[in-house]
Amino acid sequence: MSVFIDFTGTASAPLASTSASDESYITDFNAIKITSTESGETVACVESANESTNASSASIPILTPNKSNSHQRNGSFGASHLSHRLGKSYEVGIFSNYVSSNSPSSVPGDCCDDPSVEPCGSDMLTQSSRGKLTTSDFEPIKVLGCGAFGKVLLVREKSTGHLYAQKQLKKASMIVEKKALQTKTERAILESVRHPYIVKLFYALQDQEKLYLILEYAQGGELFHHLATEHMLPEQTASFYVAEMILALSHLHLNVGVVYRDLKPENCMLDQDGHLVLTDFGLSKVATNDTCTTFSGTPEYMAPEVLQGKEYDYSVDWWSLGAVTFDLLTGNPPFTGNDYQKILAKIDKCKAMRYPFYLSQDAKDFLNGCLKKCPNRRLGSRDLEKVKKMRFFRKLDWDLLEARDPSLEPPIKPLITDPILAENFSTTFTDMVLSPPGDKSLETGDFPSFNGFSFTASESYINSGFAGFMKAKQKAFD
How confident is the model over 51-93, as pLDDT tens digits?
A: 444 433 343 333 333 333 333 333 333 333 443 444 444 443 3
Same domain? For 307 and 202 the reply is no
Helix (H) or strand (E) holding 229: helix 223-230
Same domain? For 448 and 309 the reply is no
Q: Is the pLDDT of residue 278 over 90?
A: yes
Q: Is the pLDDT of residue 14 over 50?
A: no
Catalytic residue among 262, 273, 280, 327, which? 262
Same domain? For 176 and 307 the reply is no
Same domain? For 264 and 330 the reply is yes
Rounded to 10 degrees, the C-alpha dihedral 371/372/376/378 comes to -40
* Last residue in a domain, options 342, 374, 402: 402
Question: Which positions ≥6 away from 62 have C-beta within 8 Å?
Answer: 15, 16, 17, 18, 24, 25, 26, 46
How confident is the model over 291-315, as pLDDT tens digits?
A: 676 665 677 888 888 877 788 889 9
**Among 39-48, 99-108, 334-343, 432-441, which is the least confidently predicted range?**
99-108
Same domain? For 215 and 241 the reply is no
Same domain? For 379 and 235 the reply is yes
Same domain? For 236 and 257 the reply is yes
The number of helix segments (H) and strand segments (E) in the chain equals: 13, 16
* Last residue in a domain, options 373, 402, 431: 402
CATH of the domain at 428: 3.30.200.20
117 found inside a domain: no
Q: Is the pLDDT of residue 161 over 70?
A: yes
Helix (H) or strand (E) holding 204: strand 201-206
- Could you give the CA distance from residue 117 to residue 121 in angstroms, rounded to a whole number? 12
Phi/psi for 406 (5° steps) reads -60, -20
Are the C-beta atoms of 317 and 260 separated by less than 8 Å?
yes
* Last residue in a domain, options 375, 402, 429: 402
How confident is the model over 93-132, as pLDDT tens digits?
A: 333 333 334 433 333 333 333 333 333 333 333 344 456 7
Identify the CA nearest to 6 among candidates 72, 96, 65. 72
User: Three-state SS for 268?
Assistant: strand
Same domain? For 304 and 275 the reply is yes
Q: Quote the distance between the C-alpha of residue 197 and its chain's center.
A: 12
Q: Quote the distance between the C-alpha of residue 268 and its chain's center.
A: 10
Question: Which positions ≥6 away from 398 have C-beta within 8 Å?
Answer: 243, 388
- Could you give the CA distance from residue 424 to residue 226 in angstroms, rounded to a whole number? 9
Residue 345, domain extent: 221-402
Are the C-beta atoms of 137 and 440 separated by less than 8 Å?
no
Q: Decide which of 182 and 382 is more confident.
A: 382
Question: Which positions ≥6 away from 144 have C-beta within 8 Å?
Answer: 1, 151, 152, 153, 154, 165, 422, 425, 429, 430
pLDDT band, very low/low/confident/very high, at 217 (cuts 50, 70, 90): very high
Same domain? For 313 and 331 the reply is yes
Identify the CA nearest to 211 among candidates 219, 221, 203. 203
- Could you give the CA distance from residue 380 to residue 265 in angstroms, rounded to a whole number? 20
211 found inside a domain: yes
Question: Which positions ≥6 away from 246 have C-beta within 8 Å?
Answer: 321, 384, 387
Identify the CA nearest to 162 among candidates 186, 191, 138. 138
Per-chain mean pLDDT for the chain: 73
Cα end-to-end span (Å), the chain: 34
DSSP 436-456: PP--GGG--S--GGGTT--EE
- Could you give the CA distance from residue 213 to residue 309 in angstroms, rounded to a whole number? 32
Q: What is the largest CA-CA distance in the chain?
A: 71
Are the C-beta atoms of 282 and 294 separated by less than 8 Å?
no
Are the C-beta atoms of 17 and 63 separated by less than 8 Å?
yes
Tally of CB atoms within 10 A around 29: 25
Instruction: Please list the residues that pair with 164 across neighbouring strands.
Output: 155, 216
Please state the pTM of the whole predicted model: 0.70
- Could you give the CA distance from residue 102 to residue 252 in angstroms, rounded to a whole number? 9
pLDDT band, very low/low/confident/very high, at 184 (cuts 50, 70, 90): confident
pLDDT, residue 300, reads 85
Helix (H) or strand (E) holding 285: strand 285-286
397 has catalytic annotation: no
CATH of the domain at 391: 1.10.510.10
Same domain? For 297 and 338 the reply is yes
Same domain? For 321 and 233 the reply is yes
- Could you give the CA distance from residue 40 to residue 354 in angstroms, rounded to a whole number? 59
Same domain? For 283 and 391 the reply is yes
234 found inside a domain: yes
62 found inside a domain: no
236 found inside a domain: yes
Question: Which positions ≥6 away from 347 have C-beta within 8 Å?
Answer: 299, 302, 304, 307, 335
How many CA within 13 A on the CB side of residue 434? 14
**Among 8-22, 39-53, 353-367, 442-456, which is the least confidently predicted range?**
8-22
